[in-house]
Chains A and B, each alone.
Chain A
Amino acid sequence: MRGAKALAIALALLLLSPALALAGAAKTITLWYPAGDITAGAAHFADKTLFADFEAKNNVKVEAVALDYDTMQQKIFAAAAGKNIADILFIDTSWLPGFLKEEMLEPVADAKAKAWLAAVSPEIKELSDYGKGRMWGYPQYGIDVYGLTWNKDQFKEAGLDPEKPPKTWAEFREYAKKLTKRDAQGNITRVGYAIRHVGHPHGVVHKHFWAIYGAGAALIDNPNALRGGKAMINTPGGKAALQLVLDMLDVDKSTSLNFPDPRAAFLKGIASMQISETVSIRGRQPKEAPELKWGMALPPVPKAGDKPVTLLGAWLYSVPKQAKNKALAWKAIEWINSQEKDFELCKKYGASPRYAANWDKEPFKSDPYDQGLKQLYPSGKKLPINLALNGIMDAMGGAIQKVWHHEASVDAALAEAERLANKAIAEAAK
């Protein structure tokens, strides 16, 4: 019995100790960010001194926790279910509809939103504003623009002008044909254009948007409406977009299903052109392909004179409704997204700034990559915000994969995708 009593006291002390330890410490707020090769835009969180000044001024500790990008959505969801979620979430904007559907996020205060929208450059404004000045978070610098990148040396080798990327679909097909290489047995060793056709259906859709938008089609009629709307997948533009790549696969044979990831293929030199986030190439090329000379431009359009459109994606600093330290969280977010911090961090990490005023300062003013991005930004559109976005993208991604893998015809696949997308929209509107 004596032993039992001693055990009980020891146990009690053990259980109390964390409470005792916490009593006198500074408050801690947690920030979750995705880490991994994909996430060039979150690199700065690895720096433990990132929030040093903020921490000192507010007697608070900001704990940045790295999560794996692929499982981050689940983690956020599970944490919300268990009511044990971080205070700041650094999320991919394409996750936004999923979270909004579950009513998980708190919007930015109206006054702060207004101030931000007035001070940032136009493409950031486009990314931040979800209708009538409503902001669900602050977009990160180094936003993703989907652009065409090409290998200048391989262009020269094929007799093409390395400074002149293809501007129309016809040119695009012609260039791709010239750039494709085969070995003695007829296997393709280098594709003119690498496509994304495996993996998550959303990724497939992202990298096909240039063709969809370029052909004048869209996913949904009202991109800013949270609920309702009609899917616009099965349109002449949508069909043309799918048919373009299908022809390059079957007729031109300038692309192939054997090459899994456009960016990896491009960096390894086995693809001459690809269309995806330029910031990834910019981030990975120095280490993975130091000799590679590449150019970046807007994706080609169906015919001369058409307006190019491309996809804008970004990361958002957001605060979940169930966060325990919301006021501090917003304060930290506003601090790191101030004009001074924007300038300092963009300079340090080689990214493009968000405040209009910062664009006029060096080094951004003369950086060729940043200035190149400026050419692309005006043509950028962000993803629709509809709560059914996940379902719509699943349907579209499925259709794209089926067509390119010859499992279904263009008409059948798009009709089916439109049906499924409208179903998802109806479900989400309930």
Chain B
Amino acid sequence: MSRSTLVAVGKLPLYLGVSGVAILMILPFYWMVMTAFVPAPDIIAFPPKWIPSRLTLQHFAEAFAKAPWLAYYWNSFVVAVVSVGCSLLFGLFAGYAFAVYRFPLQNFFFILILATLMVPVQVTSVALYILLAQIGWVDTYQGILAPNFASAFGVFMIQQGIKSIPVDLIEAARMDGAGETRIVLTIIAPLIKTTLATVAMILFLGSWNDFLWPVIVINSQDLRTIPVGIALFKDPYGSMNYGPLMAATVISTGPMLLAYIISQKYMIRGIALTGLKG
């Protein structure tokens, strides 16, 4: 037996263990897709058909007829893009200010921003809701975006990223007569591209999957984001048929999973790095 084969055999328990757990991890996804594409009688057949003998799109048709998934997607998209866009823009400028300038009350403001990480939306949701109700922002895009126009995490990460830029670069640009805003947008931003991209990715994921705040502030079906849509698609009394329900989850999670499959290496690395810095 060759050396590499011996090594492979020695690793057999490792492979078994890793594969076993992997099957458990994937089982829900597999079962979700199975139920979504398999005709109703086959779903509840016993013994279960692990490989389906026939497929159907009937459940998807029903799921699409029962809820405006396109509207849900649009809403999630608008909310995510605006919140991530604003967070990046505002975070870029704020991060720059904290990293480069010295100004009175600097520490106070910085700690204030970081402190918001300690007080999650859950704790402030009631008072925030009351405020929004009084200004008529309940059940509107602005309402969903209200706590998410800026991100403390974003400010922190960007500030860290900018700190590593040599001051000389900035000084040189100033000598050349560039205004501060121009410096931030045309010099600093490109230099911390990776940080910005990582922050954007994490914030986008967070916004896309956000549930508690949207479910509090959204009341109209047409305004729902995808998480609210899928959570309320399921009838709490169990009378929803499983096929369309799973089709709906496939509709909800499909695109994000696809994006994940394409960019997973990047996603994983980005998230791992934030852990280290934390």
Does A68 have its Cβ within 8 Å of any Cβ on chain B? yes
Q: Is B219's CB under 8 angstroms from A75's CB?
A: yes
Which residue of chain A is the closest to B216 with respect to CB atoms?
Answer: A74
Cα separation A81 to B138 with both chains bound (whole Å): 10
A6-37 vs B, CB cutoff 8 Å, 1 = contact: the mask equals 00000000000000000000000000000111
How near does chain B come to A313, taking the closest CB pair, in angstroms?
15
Does A350 sit within 8 A of B, measured CB to CB? Answer: no
**Contact present for B220 and A264 (CB under 8 Å):** no
Q: Flag whether B239 is at the interface (Cβ < 8 A).
A: yes
Known: A67-B219, A71-B232, A74-B219. A261 touches B134 (CB 8 A): no
Determine if B232 and A70 form an interchain contact, defined as CB atoms under 8 angstroms apart.
yes
Q: State in angstroms the CA–CA spacing of A79 and B219 once bound together.
A: 10
Specify which chain B residues have a CB less than 8 angstroms from the CB of A36 in the assembled complex. 235
A200 within 8 A of B: yes
- A to B contact number (C-beta, < 8 Å): 60
97-137 of chain B: CB within 8 A of chain A: 129-130, 133-137
A67-B133 contact, Cβ under 8 Å, with A75-B139, A199-B237, A203-B237: no
CB of B238 within 8 A of chain A? yes
Q: List the B side residues contacting A37 at CB < 8 Å.
A: 235, 239-240
Q: Is the CB of A81 within 8 A of B219?
A: no
A70-B236 contact, Cβ under 8 Å, with A78-B133, A81-B138, A82-B138: yes
B219–A261 CB distance below 8 A: no
Q: How far is the CA of A75 from the CA of B143 in the complex (A)?
A: 14
B236 adjacent to A263 (CB under 8 Å): no
Q: How far is the CA of A202 from the CA of B169 in the complex (A)?
A: 67
Q: Which residue of A lies closest to B219 (CB)?
A: A75
Name the residue of chain B whose CB is nearest to the CB of A78.
Answer: B138
Residues of A within 8 A of B220 (CB): 65, 67, 75
Q: How far is the CA of A89 from the CA of B137 in the complex (A)?
A: 21
List which B231-248 residues lie within 8 A (CB) of chain A: 232, 235-240
Q: Which of A74, A196, A199, A200 has the most CB of B within 10 A?
A: A74
B240 / chain A contacts, CB cutoff of 8 Å: 37
Q: Are B134 and A82 touching (Cβ within 8 A)?
A: yes
- A108 touches B (CB below 8 Å): no
Q: Which residues of B contact A263 (CB under 8 A)?
A: 237, 239
Q: In whole angstroms, what is the CA distance A60 to B251 when docked?
A: 39
Bound Cα distance from A83 to B138, whole angstroms: 11
Indicate whether B186 reaches chain A with its CB closer than 8 angstroms. Answer: no
A78 to B220, CA, bound (A): 12
By a CB distance below 8 angstroms, the chain B residues around A78 are: 129, 133, 138-139, 219
Q: Is B264 an interface residue (CB 8 A)?
A: no
User: Cβ of A264 and Cβ of B219 under 8 Å apart?
Assistant: no
- A66 CB–B CB distance under 8 Å: yes
Query: What is the total number of residues of chain A having a CB less than 8 Å from a CB of chain B?
Result: 28
Taking a contact as CB atoms under 8 Å apart, the answer to whether B133 and A71 are in contact is no
Contact with B along A167-183 (1 / 0, CB 8 A): 00000000000000000
Asked if A264 and B239 sit within 8 Å, CB to CB, the answer is: yes
Q: Which A residues are in CB contact (< 8 Å) with B139?
A: 75, 78-79
**Chain A 78-101 interface mask (CB, 8 Å, partner B; 1/0):** 110111100000000000000000
A286 in the interface, Cβ–Cβ < 8 Å? no
**Residue of A71, A79, A263 contacting most chain B CB atoms (<10 Å):** A71
Report yes or no: B221 in contact with A66, Cβ–Cβ below 8 A: yes
What are the residues of chain A within 8 A of B239 when measuring CB–CB?
A: 37, 261, 263-264, 267
Residues facing B in A231-273 (CB within 8 A) are: 260-261, 263-264, 267
CA distance A260 to B221 in the complex (A): 26
A261 to B130, CA, bound (A): 35
CB-contacts of A324-349 with B (<8 A): none
Q: Is the CB of A67 within 8 A of B238?
A: no
Instruction: Enumerate B136-165 residues with CB–CB distance to A below 8 Å.
Output: 136-139
A260 neighbours in B (Cβ, 8 Å): 237-238
Residues on B with C-beta less than 8 A from A81 are 130, 133-134, 138
A167 CB, min distance to chain B CBs, angstroms? 28
What's the minimum C-beta distance from A190 to chain B, rounded to whole angstroms? Answer: 14
Q: Check A264–B238 contact: CB distance below 8 A.
A: yes
Chain B residues contacting A66 (CB-CB under 8 Å) are 221
B232 touches A68 (CB 8 A): yes
CB pair B235–A71 under 8 Å, yes or no, is no
Please tell me if the beta carbons of B238 and A261 are within 8 angstroms of each other in the complex: yes
| Nearest Cβ on chain A to B133's Cβ, whole angstroms | 4
Cβ of B273 to closest chain A Cβ, rounded Å: 39
Structural contact, A264 and B138, CB atoms closer than 8 A: no
Which residues of B are in contact with A by a Cβ distance under 8 Å? 129-130, 133-139, 215, 219-221, 232, 235-240
Given contacts A78-B133, A81-B138, 16 further A-B contacts (CB under 8 A): A37-B239, A38-B235, A65-B220, A67-B219, A71-B215, A71-B232, A75-B139, A78-B129, A78-B138, A78-B139, A82-B134, A83-B136, A200-B236, A260-B237, A263-B239, A264-B239
A interface residues, Cβ below 8 angstroms from B: 35-38, 65-68, 70-72, 74-75, 78-79, 81-84, 196, 199-200, 203, 260-261, 263-264, 267
Nearest first, the 7 closest Cβ-Cβ pairs linking A and B are A75-B219, A81-B133, A264-B239, A260-B238, A261-B237, A78-B138, A82-B136
Offer 19 A-B interface pairs, CB within 8 angstroms, sorted by A.
A37-B235, A37-B240, A66-B221, A67-B219, A75-B139, A75-B220, A79-B138, A81-B133, A81-B138, A82-B136, A82-B138, A84-B136, A199-B236, A200-B236, A260-B237, A260-B238, A261-B239, A264-B239, A267-B239
